Amino acid sequence: MTKKQASCIKFSGYNNSSDVLRELKDLYIKDILPVEQATEFHALNHGALSEGDFASPPMVLVIGPYSAGKTTFIEYLLGKPFPGGRVGPEPTTDSFCAIINGENERIIPGNALTITPGSQFHGLQKFGNDFLTRFYGAQVSSCEVARGLTIIDSPGVLSGEKQTLGRSYDYTDVVNWFAERSDMIICFFDVNKCEISDEMSSSIKALHKFSDKVKVVLNKCDSVDTSQNLMKV
């Protein structure tokens, strides 16, 4: 009997998902991680899996142009506003926000979030302090959705002259990092503003290899007067 067959038999006796995750983590550390290290796999792909990668809930990345309704959608899912969340017709933030479950409502700075033992965000340290000052955690309490999901609210994709202002970090690389680890990617568009900026085009290219996880939302479609016009959008 091979080790793989033995592992399958071992897993089949569990009904508790936490037991399965624990066994998968042990299997990764004992059998897979040594092979990754020997072949320098992490130099070509993402780093080694951490405790947080096994223990954290599924991650959902929300992306799209500014004023497309991303933050409003997240607040609707949560049933309330989240710490640091702002809604407006113009770009209201240049920060990525991880909405996570906790005992109280508070904001956790990006640096603190990435160095927390077992954090699933440890790998974000490679983007440097310029990015970490634009990343924070919004801890929400008494929220069933937050208990089962980690939601990533991204800054609005820039368009027109705003693109020339630039960012202090590589937006597309950060999107790629989150997309690789997300279980679902929700891409928002405002049906009244569907132009594709350079930054949005780069983001779409980054998401292309994760197309099986991408769901496109045409928001504010009730503002389109006929179904024929909506088809054009």
Task: Tell whether 144 and 209 lie within a shared domain.
Answer: yes
- Which helix (H) or strand (E) segment holds residue 215: the answer is strand 214-219
Task: Tell whether 216 and 188 lie within a shared domain.
Answer: yes
Q: What is the per-residue pLDDT across 18-66, written as a single tens digit (0 to 9) for each?
A: 778 788 888 888 999 899 888 888 777 767 777 777 778 899 999 988 7
Task: Tell whether 62 and 85 lie within a shared domain.
Answer: yes
Please check the confidence at residue 215 and state whether its pLDDT lies above 90. yes
Task: Tell whether 37 and 61 lie within a shared domain.
Answer: no
Please check the confidence at residue 13 and state whether its pLDDT lies above 50. yes
Task: Tell whether 125 and 198 lie within a shared domain.
Answer: yes
Look up the CATH number of the domain holding residue 205.
3.40.50.300
Residue 178 structural domain = 57-232
Task: Tell whether 97 and 22 lie within a shared domain.
Answer: no
Please check the confidence at residue 117 and state whether its pLDDT lies above 50. yes
Q: What is the per-residue pLDDT across 168-185, written as a single tens digit (0 to 9) for each?
A: 888 889 999 999 999 999
Task: Tell whether 84 and 158 lie within a shared domain.
Answer: yes
Q: Which of 89-93, 140-144, 184-188 has the lowest mean pLDDT?
A: 89-93
What pLDDT score was predicted for residue 152? 96
Count how many domains the chain has. Answer: 2
Task: Tell whether 103 and 8 lie within a shared domain.
Answer: no
- DSSP annotation of 157 reads B
Please spell the DSSP secondary structure of 170-209, one letter per residue: -HHHHHHHHHHH-SEEEEEEETTB----HHHHHHHHHHGG
Judge contact between 59 and 150, C-beta under 8 A.
Answer: yes
Across residues 88-109, what is the average pLDDT?
Answer: 81
The model's pTM:
0.79
